[in-house]
Amino acid sequence: HIDMDCFYVQVERRRDPSLHDVPVAVVQYNPYEAGGVTQHSAQEARRDNASNGSLIAVSYEARRHGVRRNMRGAEARRRCPTLQLVQVPTAWGKADLTLYRDAGAEVVQVLQTAKHLSAAVSAEVVTERASVDEVYVDVTAPALKWLHALLALGAPRDRHAARNNAAAAVAPPTGSLGGDDSRPARAGAEDERREDEDEDEDDDDDDDDDDD
């Protein structure tokens, strides 16, 4: 299970490199804006340090100053005067999370086609998106192949040599992923997947309603 921390901030930093190495938070839009919610596309400048919306993503630099998710913009700026607030894109009076969803899809694509994986192994890696910034990765099939090769290449007393031979013969996926096995990914689980679009937008709306 991969849960990408402060993901919205990282997406905004890729779009605007001036946000690197400074305290940053992505802030919710104001649903009570006079005259209705102003539309802000993903491509335009959306930095708004006067915003008092609730924070939905906070960089590590800001966290060191006590800034936390769901905190209001004004309080966050009191704790960290240099905090840069970036409002989420909006469209049709709602948050438009397309920018973040597309970035999440890129991550899934990288996991499926990582350069260190052979084409055969990559085809057997199963991924299941749980939300905009979460994905389950099932590497059971390639891992079992590697283990079977390991067992076939050496008797129990020669495990060390067999392990080295198997590693050379069937290179396993490498890398470090934090997570657990509480929910293996499954092919064909479309009907059980969370609808991240609705959930994230509903969560964002609930944050504002609760704070106001």
For residues 74-92, average pLDDT:
96
Query: Which pLDDT score is estimated for 116?
Result: 57
pLDDT-based confidence at residue 89 (cuts at 50, 70, 90): very high
Per-residue pLDDT at 92 exceeds 60? yes
* Greatest mean pLDDT among 96-110, 159-173, 181-195: 96-110
pTM, full prediction: 0.65
pLDDT tens column, 43-58: 888 999 999 999 999 9
For residues 145-159, average pLDDT:
70
Query: Which pLDDT score is estimated for 1?
Result: 85
Query: Higher pLDDT residue, 73 or 119?
Result: 73
pLDDT-based confidence at residue 141 (cuts at 50, 70, 90): confident
Tokens 């086609």, residue? Answer: 113
Per-residue pLDDT at 182 exceeds 50? no
Q: Could you say which of 12, 134, 192, 201 is catalytic?
A: 134
Query: Which pLDDT score is estimated for 121?
Result: 60
pLDDT-based confidence at residue 120 (cuts at 50, 70, 90): low
197 as an active site residue: the answer is no
Query: Which pLDDT score is estimated for 176?
Result: 38
Query: Which pLDDT score is estimated for 9?
Result: 97
pLDDT-based confidence at residue 158 (cuts at 50, 70, 90): low
